[in-house]
Amino acid sequence: MKVDRSFESWLEMRTFDPFTNYLDFSAFRIDLYKTTDGYLVEAVLEEADIKEYKLTVKDAELSIQFLREDEILERKVYFPESILFKPIQASLKNSIIEVRIFT
C-alpha cells in the first residue's frame, strides 16, 4: 500500500497547530477529509442562522466566510497542492457549509 507522505505531513501540521484549534473555538469549526475523488471541507457555525457565505480560492488556499448582520467570520484552509483550477462544489444547510474539491 502506497502512503502519501505529503498528505500525512500536511494533515499533521494542521492537526497539531495550536492556532488551528484556537480558531475552531473562536471563529468556527472546520472539519477536513480526504476522499477518493478529492477533499471535503465542512465549516460549522453553531447556534447561528447563516444566510450567506463566500468562498475564495488562491492557489492552495480556500477562504470561507460566513456573513452575518453584524460581522464576517473567516477561516482559511491550506492544501498540500494547488486547488485553483479544480472543480469545486459547495452547499449550505443548517449553518454548515460543505465544500467538495475534486482533484
The pLDDT profile of the chain, 103 residues, written as one tens digit per residue, is 444 556 666 666 655 555 455 566 667 888 888 899 999 999 988 766 677 889 999 999 999 998 777 788 898 998 989 999 999 999 988 888 999 999 8
Calpha distance 50→103 (Å, rounded): 28
Contacts of 97 (CB under 8 A, 6+ apart): 41, 42, 43, 53, 55, 64, 66, 90, 91
User: What structural domains and CATH numbers belong to the chain?
Assistant: 5-102 (2.60.40.790)
Record the pTM: 0.75
